[in-house]
Structure 1
């Protein structure tokens, strides 16, 4: 075979090789795709509930360690200051959350009965997950089954011990298991919000939430989900673990982690619940979401054979940091800061510093500057299962702001002499300082090491620059109308929401109006009580919001019609005005017929919009008794006013179709004002039916029981089962009132025992108003034969 004959074969093989190489590169890029942190939600010691409050603490010279509060009898009961006392804890200080007994059960569709049994860790995970989604501008629609994965680090559920030790086991009902089981922590968030991605609860002790971050990153890169919520939870109620840790000498007597200092004598415990929203960076940029930081890489491993199950392993720590760097495609010398695990123990701190220096310090070769080291445990305590996520949120804010806060308070004294600081390339941050300009990239790492030997490390980078366009570029001028919408579960919360939005709008001014309006429309859930304002200026809209009140409406409309006349030139002009006012609406309108094209565009906003071809000229939107004419001149104002009216009537609208070009969602808009109702186990008073209660229900059914009497009985019984404090709203469904399969079973059983009829399970219909359900039960009871008494 000649060289000429071989040439096409060689060229074919080279082309194949290039394609394979490109495919391999594509797979590698996908496996290491950068991920964006787009939202945060948190509850930390010291009453910290916002990122801004957390940052204020980090840049101050104080901590939030306090004495055990009165609502922790399990911890107070085991305290004894003498370290040698068996069965006792010598610690009476830690980082505690305020108001752990408070929760907005109604917002999440729970009865009082279920909420009381629910571990406060799960309650706070629900609220912080919702807040993270809101700050990310991701509207939660339960029916949409959003592809969100939920990954939660949690290692204990001590709240249930308030019941588990009681002699009367009739207090134990199905909520005892679902309210405290670890597996429900992630699953409950997904269930409550309708998420369809993976839901995993992770327990690797102190590294739990950083391992959860690692699993979330893998899931996003494998495209198992489009969004991910990563959380951690840790609350302290039981004295048992406190005693165990004290008997091992792990805890600092004063309850403070004095990390890396000469006074380090154990770690101080802390409480916290936090979540962050994560997604692929390319998707976040395409959707205009606020990017707070970029997750570049993660890794996990185990200590393996070492000096002891709970003893840190320096080699394993070096390996996990190196693996995270490789996954991140970041060089060791590019890391400018590390949020250390640093628990403040004389054994663990030197091992960690030596491992960091071996990989990121001296082991990295020439560095632009010394590696800065920080640790939030000296401020809020060691949050154990939530420690990783608390450190990540600190790191995210450091990268976002370009600042490195002091790792220690000024009063914490000298650094530990057991650590050879002078021979390392590491320094502990002692005051808030700008990120060193010597670094070409702003990159940082964070470590978490579990007591059982599971280690994790993650690499982050500062976010890419995101500038809001100038007002002239986005149409936020004095003449361009905007639609701002606000919704809530009840009128009082609606008023709070409206004032919150108005205050934010006054801060942003005219230049931020388009961003804020877009965020209220597309970045928030659409709830029952609603207000909508159309205006041309930020000041006018803010004033209208401050004065706005909820106006009750009839049932939300479900039928919408677009009536289009035969006048083609007018239709073409109308379409032109629509595209000019709302370019996003025209992106998927590919019909040639102007009427069909207009319908296709508007149907993206109004689901179930039907096209009707009329005989009279003109175009109009119709629902119920309302009809709104649309004309080319002034179309933006006309359509926004129509959408405002539709929104306030309760219609299900899809406002994301109105996204202005180049406009980012506003990550600074406040989150939902959850109600702070008390749900707590103070004494054994649970409604599981006892023999005495069964006897109360026994007896012959009155043969002359009328419909009203039966309905009143069923209503009262459901109120009792749900532990509702007021009569139920008969327009609510069984689910909206807080019912579930367990309550349905108990209601069926109560009706059968009291009224002596067999009740089919399907009669407790969760989808219809309670008034209709009660009527059906009443009708069935009056028609059914009385059951024969058992022999």
Structure 2
């Protein structure tokens, strides 16, 4: 039985070269940009670890790589994560949280609506650099409970599932360089088997330490000039790179019914292992051929229908030859001259992203199908003479080429991958025909909405929308589709902006006025602390501007509107700018480790553990025993606040004693630690369940007070100004 195609409905990605979205990635690809740079100074001191002689002990012979920007920054507040935990979370997890959100926005899926769903998460990951930094013997004093929880690779997908409240399979995949493409295979299998109805699949790779690059240098795997020259005679290895990519997958029938925008469909995939081949680490041509044949047999597509293969293509002379011959034996067979299959590799643009390499190739292939173009393969000057190109019916595209329908069918492309250790994977993609768009009548009033989780993010969103709406590439997007998307296909956060406009020109003018803090008719902004569901009893129609103004104002003041009543016949989803993250630096590393990596000292404390003064041991029981009864609960409340501030490693502030602990960033691990500190210092008994249930500070203080009374403690010493002394610790 041929499986139902799986639709790729959303993409989130961060790749070298400043790529932060599918749009910027496609711009890099179609323009043939090379994103490789010298190793940044915040990764390691390249002069300290570089030597042109490959056999030089402790040195690497490459100075190059593909790197992400602002790798140490994260919007922890958006995800409700404390500073203490954020600093210890592997940046791979942090990158994936943001990218997963972006992929869902790109798909027009509201994350809050997916809470509790059987959505699956499948992530390729293998790098442990930050874990090694955290577990370094010079960093022992800074290790806490979050260190182990935040560094285990199995928790990379699990954190996404937890933060978004997904209940489907949540699996890390380590298959070497094939990891993220294998993750896509298992995501599709899970959808086909009914284990989940929606899936996020992808991979991540970040590079902080030089040791792996040194090891790769000793194995002569790296390109000396830092360029992947895939299938070229001058190929001499790959260049390491960072990256993160996530695709949102669902059955094609569901995507069509939901009105999703579809990049491409996955028709089939297959995974295999070399077994006992010629070498434990070398690729095997016959094994690659077998996995390709299995993938095509499952879907009924003929290999000869494939127009392009996104290859592993890492620039290894032997690996390129073996892969090309395997592709030629399966996909190049029974082709006539002039009907060659194009092959290429995204590694020539952005380097080898290791665990994220496969998802980078898959996203490139999906974008190629969506845009009906094949991007050029860089650094290809002289074809590898060991590859019989004409016989294999293969070629390497050197310019942007059209990707056309054949036999009245959308184009078919495939993605090939293999990993160190023998894993092989092959994924087949096909385009979809564009559905006719019902263009809305122009110059009708529409409600435009945007929202964020902070005032700064709301302003950043307004700026992003202005740039988006004034870009020539987006001129064809209708106002009605924009407003439908912001109403029903985006999250609604607490800080809100709404306006009733009748043209994109007026929309831009209103956004500019908002940033200038100028008022405009039919423009409203406000803050909603708790969302309420309200009904719109009747469809106001697009001509009732007064009703639209009323709804816009209500949206920013008190209500969460049922926007389905405004759009009873649905609408056309369009992709809009993603959430503007408000990132801060979170990093935890000993100064000795930092100096070893970077070869320099740092005047700024590398590991900022706030609250050392609060950590001073104070006999709170004696202080409570001599305080007047009216002050005892306040004393305990101030003491608990100090303990929480120390646990969160945040700046001393006055906490809201009525809010539950989890709203402050206290998770179960912190709650257990907090409980242990309190019961030890106060010498009382409080059940751990009481802390896990996330009470408020006031409730905890009252519980502690009652327990101390039960102990029938009698004042034994006098301590003056008890409350004032403790309160000073939180100022």
Do the structures match in fold with TM over 0.5?
A: yes
Asked whether 1:90 is paired with 2:67, we answer no
Aligned residue among 735, 742, 747 for 2:669: 742
Deviation at 1:380, TM superposition (A): 0.8
Deviation at 1:284, TM superposition (A): 1.0
Q: Deviations over 1:16-37 (max 9, x none)?
A: xxxxxxxxxxxx25xx101111
Deviation at 1:61, TM superposition (A): 4.1
Aligned residue among 579, 583, 588 for 1:681: 588
- Change over 3 Å in CA distance of 1:506–1:239 after alignment to 2: closer
1:736 is paired with a residue of what secondary structure?
Answer: helix
Instruction: Tell me which residue corresponds to 2:425.
Output: 456
Instruction: Tell me which residue corresponds to 1:381.
Output: 351
Q: Deviations over 1:654-688 (max 9, x none)?
A: 53565453632112x00000112000123274869
Instruction: Tell me which residue corresponds to 2:603.
Output: none
Instruction: Tell me which residue corresponds to 1:103.
Output: 74
Q: Deviations over 1:381-413 (max 9, x none)?
A: 11111000001111111111111111114xx53
Instruction: Tell me which residue corresponds to 2:555.
Output: 647
- Change over 3 Å in CA distance of 1:348–1:697 after alignment to 2: farther
Instruction: Tell me which residue corresponds to 1:433.
Output: 401
Q: Deviations over 1:359-399 (max 9, x none)?
A: 111x2444772111111111111111100000111111111
1:299 is paired with a residue of what secondary structure?
Answer: strand
Q: 2:76 & 2:108 partners in 1: Cα distance? A: 23
User: Please, which moves more after superposition, 171-180 or 680-689?
Assistant: 680-689
Q: Deviations over 1:210-269 (max 9, x none)?
A: 101111111112222222111101111233322222222222222321111111111211
> Does structure 2 conserve the Cα–Cα contact (< 8 Å) formed by 1:698 and 1:753?
no
Instruction: Tell me which residue corresponds to 2:485.
Output: 519
Deviation at 1:114, TM superposition (A): 0.6
> Does structure 1 conserve the Cα–Cα contact (< 8 Å) formed by 2:415 and 2:427?
yes
- Change over 3 Å in CA distance of 1:745–1:85 after alignment to 2: same
> Does structure 1 conserve the Cα–Cα contact (< 8 Å) formed by 2:614 and 2:646?
no
Q: 2:12 & 2:558 partners in 1: Cα distance? A: 28
Deviation at 1:143, TM superposition (A): 7.7
Instruction: Tell me which residue corresponds to 1:478.
Output: 443
Q: 1:377 & 1:551 partners in 2: Cα distance? A: 46
> Does structure 2 conserve the Cα–Cα contact (< 8 Å) formed by 1:734 and 1:765?
no
1:418 is paired with a residue of what secondary structure?
Answer: coil
Instruction: Tell me which residue corresponds to 1:33.
Output: 4
2:294 is paired with a residue of what secondary structure?
Answer: helix
> Does structure 1 conserve the Cα–Cα contact (< 8 Å) formed by 2:636 and 2:705?
no
Instruction: Tell me which residue corresponds to 1:419.
Output: 387
Deviation at 1:439, TM superposition (A): 6.0
Deviation at 1:440, TM superposition (A): 4.2
> Any stretches of 5+ residues in structure 1 without a counterpart?
1-27, 563-573, 583-633
Aligned residue among 725, 733, 740 for 2:651: 725
1:393 is paired with a residue of what secondary structure?
Answer: helix
- Change over 3 Å in CA distance of 1:509–1:773 after alignment to 2: farther
Asked whether 1:492 is paired with 2:399, we answer no
Q: 2:457 & 2:94 partners in 1: Cα distance? A: 19
Deviation at 1:783, TM superposition (A): 4.4
Instruction: Tell me which residue corresponds to 1:529.
Output: 495
Asked whether 1:369 is paired with 2:378, we answer no
Deviation at 1:557, TM superposition (A): 6.4
Aligned residue among 398, 401, 419 for 2:368: 398
- Change over 3 Å in CA distance of 1:143–1:55 after alignment to 2: closer
Instruction: Tell me which residue corresponds to 1:466.
Output: 435
Instruction: Tell me which residue corresponds to 2:728.
Output: none
Q: 2:49 & 2:619 partners in 1: Cα distance? A: 43
Q: Deviations over 1:687-714 (max 9, x none)?
A: 6999995745677334244243332332
Output the TM-score relative to the length of structure 1. Answer: 0.80
Asked whether 1:713 is paired with 2:639, we answer yes
User: Please, which moves more after superposition, 127-136 or 71-80?
Assistant: 71-80
RMSD: 3.1
- Change over 3 Å in CA distance of 1:379–1:561 after alignment to 2: closer
2:569 is paired with a residue of what secondary structure?
Answer: coil
Instruction: Tell me which residue corresponds to 1:207.
Output: 178
Instruction: Tell me which residue corresponds to 1:703.
Output: 625
Q: 2:58 & 2:690 partners in 1: Cα distance? A: 54
2:266 is paired with a residue of what secondary structure?
Answer: strand
- Change over 3 Å in CA distance of 1:438–1:679 after alignment to 2: same
In the TM superposition, 1:505-654 aligns within 5 A as: 505=469, 512-548=478-514, 556=530, 558=532, 578=539, 581=541, 637=545, 640-654=548-562
Q: 2:130 & 2:492 partners in 1: Cα distance? A: 33
Instruction: Tell me which residue corresponds to 1:661.
Output: 569
- Change over 3 Å in CA distance of 1:422–1:783 after alignment to 2: same
User: Please, which moves more after superposition, 186-195 or 419-428?
Assistant: 419-428
> Does structure 1 conserve the Cα–Cα contact (< 8 Å) formed by 2:495 and 2:527?
no
Deviation at 1:197, TM superposition (A): 1.6
> Any stretches of 5+ residues in structure 2 without a counterpart?
518-523, 592-606, 716-731
> Does structure 1 conserve the Cα–Cα contact (< 8 Å) formed by 2:223 and 2:236?
yes
Instruction: Tell me which residue corresponds to 2:31.
Output: 60
Q: 1:561 & 1:358 partners in 2: Cα distance? A: 62
Aligned residue among 185, 195, 202 for 2:166: 195
Asked whether 1:258 is paired with 2:195, we answer no
> Does structure 2 conserve the Cα–Cα contact (< 8 Å) formed by 1:101 and 1:680?
yes
> Does structure 2 conserve the Cα–Cα contact (< 8 Å) formed by 1:153 and 1:386?
yes
- Change over 3 Å in CA distance of 1:169–1:429 after alignment to 2: same
2:493 is paired with a residue of what secondary structure?
Answer: coil
- Change over 3 Å in CA distance of 1:560–1:153 after alignment to 2: closer
1:160 is paired with a residue of what secondary structure?
Answer: helix
Instruction: Tell me which residue corresponds to 2:200.
Output: 229
Q: 1:147 & 1:704 partners in 2: Cα distance? A: 55
Larger Rg: 1
> Does structure 1 conserve the Cα–Cα contact (< 8 Å) formed by 2:139 and 2:590?
no
- Change over 3 Å in CA distance of 1:105–1:557 after alignment to 2: closer
> Does structure 1 conserve the Cα–Cα contact (< 8 Å) formed by 2:7 and 2:263?
yes
Instruction: Tell me which residue corresponds to 2:265.
Output: 294
- Change over 3 Å in CA distance of 1:656–1:149 after alignment to 2: farther
Q: Deviations over 1:153-177 (max 9, x none)?
A: 0112211111322256343322112
Q: 1:337 & 1:510 partners in 2: Cα distance? A: 30
> Does structure 2 conserve the Cα–Cα contact (< 8 Å) formed by 1:299 and 1:457?
yes
Output the TM-score relative to the length of structure 2. Answer: 0.86
Q: 1:692 & 1:639 partners in 2: Cα distance? A: 55
2:123 is paired with a residue of what secondary structure?
Answer: strand
Q: Deviations over 1:624-645 (max 9, x none)?
A: xxxxxxxxxx7x6566445434
Q: 1:509 & 1:347 partners in 2: Cα distance? A: 48
Q: 1:712 & 1:433 partners in 2: Cα distance? A: 68
Aligned residue among 255, 259, 262 for 1:284: 255
> Does structure 1 conserve the Cα–Cα contact (< 8 Å) formed by 2:30 and 2:400?
yes
User: Please, which moves more after superposition, 520-529 or 757-766?
Assistant: 757-766
- Change over 3 Å in CA distance of 1:59–1:693 after alignment to 2: same
- Change over 3 Å in CA distance of 1:757–1:326 after alignment to 2: same
- Change over 3 Å in CA distance of 1:642–1:317 after alignment to 2: same
In the TM superposition, 1:2-81 aligns within 5 A as: 28-29=1-2, 32-73=3-44, 78-81=49-52
> Does structure 1 conserve the Cα–Cα contact (< 8 Å) formed by 2:534 and 2:560?
no
2:259 is paired with a residue of what secondary structure?
Answer: coil
Instruction: Tell me which residue corresponds to 1:344.
Output: 315
Deviation at 1:483, TM superposition (A): 2.4
